[in-house]
Amino acid sequence: MSLPELQHHFITAIFNRDQRDAAALLVKSHGKLDAAQRVGIYRNSVHGILWQYLESLYPVCQQLLGAEFFEAASDCYVDQQPPTRPFLAEYGAGFADFLAAHPALQQMLWIADVARLEWARHQAWNAVNQAAADFSQLANVDAAQQARLVLVLPASAQLLTSAYAIHQVWLAHQPEDSPEKVALEQLELHQTQRVLVWRAGRRLHQVLLDEATWAFLTAIQQANRLPDLAERFQAQLPALLMTAVQRGWILSFTVL
């Protein structure tokens, strides 16, 4: 058998337990383990490596679902959507959708939204580093350029909205205290929450936004020009801008 064929049989067996026998034909039985068990060691090791990674990526979901359920879900997800790139940090993007489609979670769709928040945190942490622009240069922007002025969020900025209290569910699972933290038992799950996650240097931030700020940052993310922002936010605009720049939510600007 050629090397490509051998690798084909083996990789198929790793992500499909029913295909183990075809791969076992390639392997010697000896000592305390037969060929199928030896192939199984690799299937389990691959699933173990990816399970451990998914646990570290989705720690709140892991606690919400319980260790046993999470492990089983991880195994199933890995078989259905195995990694296709050598960069592990890219893996796991589809886990929230996987949970949302899980038969046992059809009345708990909010857990998938918590997974989306955890993925957003992972994305924010992995986004590129950027230097903040010098906003004093705005003084040199003339009236014609103002009409084409676009503000830019940090590459790490992740805006999420959910019909559930995902921010507080996340908070309740953190060891640290915070003023917004509510015990799980007291939590009002059914409330719309708008969350911003972003990274500044080596610090990862997560805040709850009010409706106006969320709409404002979303408009900026969609590259709305300054006149469009003025039209939409009117008298609120100066204060929205001031807060956003001070908190590091607006990193730079360009003239299109």
Residue 194 has phi, psi (to 5 degrees) of -115, 125
From 174, 191, 192, 254, residue interacting with other proteins (rule: CB under 8 A): 174
From 22, 100, 108, 150, residue interacting with other proteins (rule: CB under 8 A): 108
Using rule CB under 8 A, residue 46 touches other proteins: yes
From 94, 125, 163, 192, residue interacting with other proteins (rule: CB under 8 A): 125
CA 210 to chain centre: 21
**Burial classification of residue 85, based on how many CB atoms lie within 10 Å of its CB (0-12 exposed, 13-18 middle, 19 or more buried):** exposed
Residue 93 has phi, psi (to 5 degrees) of -60, -30
Question: For residue 225, what is the DSSP state?
Answer: B
Using rule CB under 8 A, residue 146 touches other proteins: yes
Q: Which is nearer to other proteins, 82 or 218 (CB)?
A: 82
Q: Which is nearer to other proteins, 70 or 214 (CB)?
A: 70
Using rule CB under 8 A, residue 189 touches other proteins: yes
Contact 135, 250 (CB under 8 A): no
Using rule CB under 8 A, residue 50 touches other proteins: yes
Using rule CB under 8 A, residue 226 touches other proteins: yes
From 22, 28, 157, 224, residue interacting with other proteins (rule: CB under 8 A): 28
Distance CA 158, CA 123 (A): 8
Distance CA 77, CA 105 (A): 14
Q: Which of positions 88-107 make contact with other proteins (CB under 8 A)?
A: 88-89, 103-105, 107
Residue 26 backbone class (left: φ over 0; alpha: ψ -120 to 50; beta: rest) = alpha
Both ends of the chain: CA-CA distance in Å? 59
From 94, 211, 223, 231, residue interacting with other proteins (rule: CB under 8 A): 231
Using rule CB under 8 A, residue 14 touches other proteins: yes
From 21, 67, 101, 223, residue interacting with other proteins (rule: CB under 8 A): 67
Using rule CB under 8 A, residue 141 touches other proteins: yes
